[in-house]
Structure 1
Amino acid sequence: MYTLGISALTHDTAAALLSPSGEVIAAFEESKLLRQRESTGIPRNAIQFCLQQAGIGWQELAGVAVAWRPLRAWMRQAWFRCKTLPLAPLASGYYQARLLGELGRELNNFRILRLLAGHGPVAGVDHQLAHAASAFFASPFERATVLTLDEQGDGFTGMIAVGEATRIRPLRRIAFPHSPAWVYTMVTDLLGFTRRRDEHKTQWLALQGEPHYRDVFLQLLGARRPDAPRLNRRYFRRGFTQRMAFSPAALAALDLDPKAPRLRDATHGSRIAASLQHACSELVLALAEAACRQTGIRQLCLAGGLFLNSPLVADLQERFGAEPVFVQPAAGNEGTALGAAWLHFYSSGTRSRAPAPASMALGPEFTDEAAKRVLDNCKARYRWLGTEAEKLEQTIRLLQAGKIVAWCQGRAEFGPRALGHRSLLASPWAPYVKENLNEYIKHREGFRPFALSVPAEAADRYFTSPGPNPWLTTLARIRPPHRERLQAFTLPGDRVRLHVVGRAANPLFHRLLQQFGEQAPAPLLVNTSFNLFGEPLVVTPRDAVRSFFCSGVDALVLGNFLLTKD
């Protein structure tokens, strides 16, 4: 019997399916299938995809696990608002009413899931425990310290736990509002970005500035207690209310007008971002060290939205030295679908540990017949590439000519990053490659870096990395002899976004890199996600063709079909 895991139904919903032996068959986000940036509620399309991938129906499920417990979450959140009632009665009343509405929706969603499952078992699991499971059971460790940190969760914003074989034992939980991720979200809003969506922009902007306000954020985050972070109430509004919960004292300390907090200029914004990034890194480093001392285990597993922050993860890996640190590639809410499934699967206590996924290509794939139907319907001109050798040869020819190539092969990636299945590729040595990607395709800020993909066998020749990096979860450093050659993709401190491609994880992309390197200065390609501005990663041939014709991409390799704009 199979196990279906569903993420918390509040945002970024996803589903994951385990085989009877515990191996991951499929996992995918609802938003990518809906072609939207956000999704809430039951991920019906993602569930349908998972079941179709295994060729089963609801009746063949041993259980359905959801990474949320509505009643317990409501009780924790409502109790917090009760405690703030004397400080902010009107706001607390508003939050209590909203929480009741959310509880009604969540309970109704569980009722619908039970109907879909034929009144079969639908169980809620602890949200932070699902985050912890998503990291530990995907890691190579038999024993590990597990740390989770996200924005608000289900009333708990983090957890320290111990993972052993097929069990996870919670040691300590961090309650809302004591959440560095929540502060990060508010600062993202303060900088003019979209909260809960553009936090990655804040992390990259941070690399452009000086940490002028670092001490302010250290005081605000309560960094004096690294083993139990507690926000300093002086820097927040009474009752932790309103969209921007910073107090006038906090805004004044950041050189902002408390009545109209607007940035003076771009330098001011980069200083605030850099200060927050430095303070968060110091706090999380101290918290991780304290957790490892408590458990006596140096292997560390990380999950939760805060650990989508690559510079933060790189700082952690450098601090822990040679000791391994594993980050769940889908560290956000979508990853809790995997965690919920694993928790349910191992709940009997009698199962042996299943192998961790070797690849994040867990989403839908397409056939050449499906791609041809789309191309013929669009009346697009295309070329059939009859062999793999011809496909690689034509792709390399385009890359050598300085073209930007959309590479759409195999199953789509689960998680927020493109890993060589739904990627835009370009030669790092093509003229104006960054400008062309930013201006004509991605339409994004110039301070956001592009990743470089490299075969695993060649990575040490050009880069030093504090840990393995097959999923773009951390940063590496460029070795001195290659700094000038790769200067356009270098971040402060000689850091670079690096995607290390293993032969087993993505054999076709691995061969493309190797063969490109035979005709180029190095086996490196610029790799960024294949999507239009404001849209999720492409999934189907229709998504790919539409994105190709609506952007400045020069060529599309769609399965065994080649489209160009010549």
Structure 2
Amino acid sequence: MSAAAARRGAEVVLGLCAFTHDSAAALLVDGHLVGFVEEERLNGVKHTNSYPANAIAWLLDQAGLAREDVTTVAYNFAGRHYLRPLLHVPAHLVDRLTQTRAIPRARSFVTVHHRYRARMAQVRSQFPKAYLQSVLHHRAHALYAFLSSGYDEAAVLVVDSLGEIQSTTTWHANPTLQLLHAINDPASLGYAYGAITEHLGWRRGDEEGTVMALAAIGDPARFRPLMSRAIRLTRDGFALDPALLPLRVLSSRYGRVTSAFTAATCPPRRPDAQVESVHADLAAALQERTEQVMLHLAYRARGTSGSGLLCLGGGVAMNCVAVGRILQEGYFDEVHMPPAPADSGTAIGAAAAVWSDTTGRAPGGLTQRSYLGPAYPGVILSTAPRPGLSARRLTEPARELARNLAEGQIIGLFTGPVEAGPRALGNRSILASPLTDDVVKRLNATVKFREPFRPFAPVVLADKAADYFALNQLSPYMSIAVPATTLSQTVLPAVVHANGRARVQTVTQEQHPFLAELLAAFAELTGHPVLINTSLNIKGKPIAGTPELALDCLTESGLDGLLLEGWWVTRC
């Protein structure tokens, strides 16, 4: 659409997740999603909190628009709610477990509110002709989770660390969104998981998945009573024990576990220290309790909504083992998670909320879409794109890649638009054969540079998935960990974690024609339409969103080759 057309009355809504982790932008033009991209995919800084200037520039260019054509900017937090914790100061002051943090907590929320106002002023300066509208964070999560599903109605459960003051919300979409129940901070499952992740020596807000992986090799019994005290189930949700997980203060100067928690578990682990059995046992107890809480919340969502379908959103919903447990329990006929369930996806949800509020209609272009970012179909490489690298065109890329993979090579794949969300779904992936004996060791040691206990996920042709995994629905976004069948455990142990589960991505011809063709070609050679699929990045860096970042991944890791938009790039 041209700028002139926009001035004639098109509604242009820019959704933003900005100034916090996972900065991103989305664009709706006349209610249709033009695109979405996380800023990290373009600036190379993982979980960047910067203003998403690159993402916005790409979106406007895609739509043929200028900044002046944006009619509304939708922001993914409603900052006035940051002042609500002030009402709870008296109660926190009279409780001996919270009194020392009551005033610092209140001040920290006031500080965040001031920052919010300054950030909104910055956004207004970028879009002086646009109306600026703030959207409740959990509403943005819930709306995106539902609209991306394609369901006519569903229960929606959002579980994260903190959205203004809410940490957990339950909704019913039919098709408009109705809030059924909310749990507010300091009761926060995301806060608890992040606090213990940090205590175990990994970065909260980034490496909770590492703790989830570590849990599979630990014994939860050792710390089960402690974790049941720390995270207590209640009739309508859960609560945290401030004697173990102290009242949240929005400042890094205030720790997130108490001395009593440390005395009952272990000293804080340094990031470079050896991982010991006590760390695995603590991770296992945390994961077990998280699954119990998530099951409790899901059960309540089923009862209060009356729906047999569930949509999940929020950072804690990325706990794929807990999601698998919900599906396995049979509370719901089907469970859906959007491709970007964490905060970045609220850029889409915020834009959708503004459009729905303005028009009374749901936006289009959100359903079952994950490949929403920049593409580089016309990229041209020289025969020597970088010193030490050579490039050539492939005539039958799927068959040639399948042959190389069957021979044990580890290959990067860069094709089409960049994926939304944290999982590589075949457009920015590293692929390997699960039949190769040392593939997991090679991937961890020479390509991903990460802990040896972390598993790798499988991608499988959808119509063959049930042969390998106990999965009774599609899983296109690699968001559900399910038990592996005996066939997988026997033939493909590389994609089965120590807990007997695998985080599966299913692929259909309609969803990803090239990846489906590649899996079929691999099956012709090996008998199994299954590959290892992990993200095209190395530890500490984001998924490679641009050709240059993809070439960086090749040169800085042990990849054997990279297929970059039909160009086969290898070391000389």
Aligned equivalents of 1:338, 1:91: Cα separation in 2: 35
Aligned equivalents of 1:107, 1:265: Cα separation in 2: 43
Query: Who is 2:242 aligned against?
Result: 233
Aligned length: 556
**Against the structure 1 CA distance between its residues 145 and 556, is the aligned structure 2 distance closer, same or farther, given a 3 Å change threshold?**
same
Tell me the secondary structure at the aligned position of residue 569 of structure 2. Answer: strand
Aligned equivalents of 1:436, 1:265: Cα separation in 2: 20
Match of 1:125 among 108, 113, 135: 135
The answer to whether 1:436 aligns with 2:436 is: no
Q: How does 1:221-300 map to 2 (within 5 A)?
A: 221-223=231-233, 225-237=234-246, 243-254=254-265, 256=266, 266-300=276-310
Aligned equivalents of 2:528, 2:19: Cα separation in 1: 44
Residues 41 and 109 of structure 1 are in contact (CA less than 8 Å); yes or no, is this contact kept in structure 2? no
Q: Unpaired segments of 5 or more residues in structure 1?
A: none
**Against the structure 1 CA distance between its residues 414 and 495, is the aligned structure 2 distance closer, same or farther, given a 3 Å change threshold?**
same
Counterpart code for 1:107? R
Q: Which 10-residue stretch deviates more, 156-165 or 462-471?
A: 462-471
Give per-residue Cα distances to partners, 1:10-33, cap 9 Å, x unaligned.
Answer: 22111111232x332211111222
Query: Who is 1:494 aligned against?
Result: 500
Residues 150 and 368 of structure 2 are in contact (CA less than 8 Å); yes or no, is this contact kept in structure 1? no
Aligned equivalents of 1:337, 1:145: Cα separation in 2: 21
Aligned equivalents of 1:68, 1:227: Cα separation in 2: 25
Match of 1:383 among 388, 392, 395: 392
Query: Who is 2:326 aligned against?
Result: 316
Give per-residue Cα distances to partners, 1:195-252, cap 9 Å, x unaligned.
Answer: 21111111111111121222321222121x1413222334344777964333344334
Counterpart code for 1:45? N
**Against the structure 1 CA distance between its residues 201 and 481, is the aligned structure 2 distance closer, same or farther, given a 3 Å change threshold?**
closer
Tell me the secondary structure at the aligned position of residue 564 of structure 1. Answer: strand
Shift of 1:34: 1.5
Q: How does 1:96-245 map to 2 (within 5 A)?
A: 96-165=106-175, 167-212=176-221, 213-223=223-233, 225-237=234-246, 243-245=254-256
Query: Who is 1:400 aligned against?
Result: 406
Q: Which 10-residue stretch deviates more, 289-298 or 243-252?
A: 243-252
Aligned equivalents of 1:556, 1:239: Cα separation in 2: 45
Residues 101 and 249 of structure 2 are in contact (CA less than 8 Å); yes or no, is this contact kept in structure 1? no
Query: Who is 2:539 aligned against?
Result: 533
Shift of 1:420: 0.5
Q: How does 1:43-122 map to 2 (within 5 A)?
A: 43-73=52-82, 75-80=83-88, 83-85=91-93, 91-122=101-132
Normalised by the size of structure 1, how large is the TM-score? 0.92
> Cα RMSD (Å) of the superposition?
2.6
**Against the structure 1 CA distance between its residues 259 and 13, is the aligned structure 2 distance closer, same or farther, given a 3 Å change threshold?**
closer
Residues 23 and 51 of structure 2 are in contact (CA less than 8 Å); yes or no, is this contact kept in structure 1? yes
Aligned equivalents of 2:286, 2:447: Cα separation in 1: 30
Q: Which 10-residue stretch deviates more, 104-113 or 352-361?
A: 352-361
Shift of 1:90: 6.6
Residues 383 and 391 of structure 2 are in contact (CA less than 8 Å); yes or no, is this contact kept in structure 1? no
Match of 2:524 among 492, 514, 518: 518
Shift of 1:463: 2.1
Residues 70 and 129 of structure 2 are in contact (CA less than 8 Å); yes or no, is this contact kept in structure 1? no
**Against the structure 1 CA distance between its residues 128 and 259, is the aligned structure 2 distance closer, same or farther, given a 3 Å change threshold?**
closer
Aligned equivalents of 1:300, 1:321: Cα separation in 2: 9
**Against the structure 1 CA distance between its residues 195 and 393, is the aligned structure 2 distance closer, same or farther, given a 3 Å change threshold?**
same
Residues 314 and 466 of structure 1 are in contact (CA less than 8 Å); yes or no, is this contact kept in structure 2? no
Shift of 1:51: 1.5
Query: Who is 1:509 aligned against?
Result: 515
Shift of 1:460: 2.0
Shift of 1:507: 0.9
Normalised by the size of structure 2, how large is the TM-score? 0.91
Counterpart code for 2:75? V
**Against the structure 1 CA distance between its residues 321 and 11, is the aligned structure 2 distance closer, same or farther, given a 3 Å change threshold?**
same
How many percent of aligned residue pairs carry the same amino acid?
Answer: 28
Give per-residue Cα distances to partners, 1:511-565, cap 9 Å, x unaligned.
Answer: 1111111111211111111112210001111111121112111111111211122
**Against the structure 1 CA distance between its residues 121 and 257, is the aligned structure 2 distance closer, same or farther, given a 3 Å change threshold?**
closer
Residues 321 and 482 of structure 2 are in contact (CA less than 8 Å); yes or no, is this contact kept in structure 1? no
Tell me the secondary structure at the aligned position of residue 130 of structure 1. Answer: helix
Give per-residue Cα distances to partners, 1:311-351, cap 9 Å, x unaligned.
Answer: 01101111125611111221111111111111111113532
Aligned equivalents of 1:436, 1:2: Cα separation in 2: 47
